[in-house]
Amino acid sequence: MTRLIAALAFAMLSGATYGADAPPGAASCSGCHANNARVETSVPPLKGRSAADITSQMIAYKSGQRPGTIMDRIAKGFSEDEIRAIAAWYESQK
């Protein structure tokens, strides 16, 4: 049932969702990934970034293919459907 809900959320988020509520887990990303381009940090912003890029990077962290200091541990907490929903939401934030 949870996977069905995540798949439906992904399908809904795939279209134009500017201003839509963030999917579960997405809000916590801004703790490290600044929403404002004026904030100087070595952590890249996610807002407006390609969903395909975010998804591939998160799956690489999740699988251990890409090493990380904390992202590998964070990514393991999300299913691939949740990762896709979060990535689609961030891509829609322009």
**b vs e for 28-50, b when ≥16 Cβ sit within 10 Å of the residue's Cβ?**
ebeeebbeeeeeeeeeebbbebe
Which band of pLDDT confidence, cut at 50, 70 and 90, is reported for residue 27?
Answer: confident
Q: Kindly tell me if the per-residue pLDDT of 1 is higher than 60.
A: no
Mean pLDDT computed over 7-14: 42
- Whether 86 and 23 have beta carbons less than 8 Å apart is answered as yes
Sequence spans of domains, the chain: 2-92
pLDDT in tens, 42-67: 898 999 899 999 999 999 999 999 99
Model pTM score: 0.73
Q: What percent of the chain stands above pLDDT 90?
A: 50
CA distance 56 to 94: 20
Q: Which CATH architecture has domain 2-92?
A: Orthogonal Bundle (1.10)
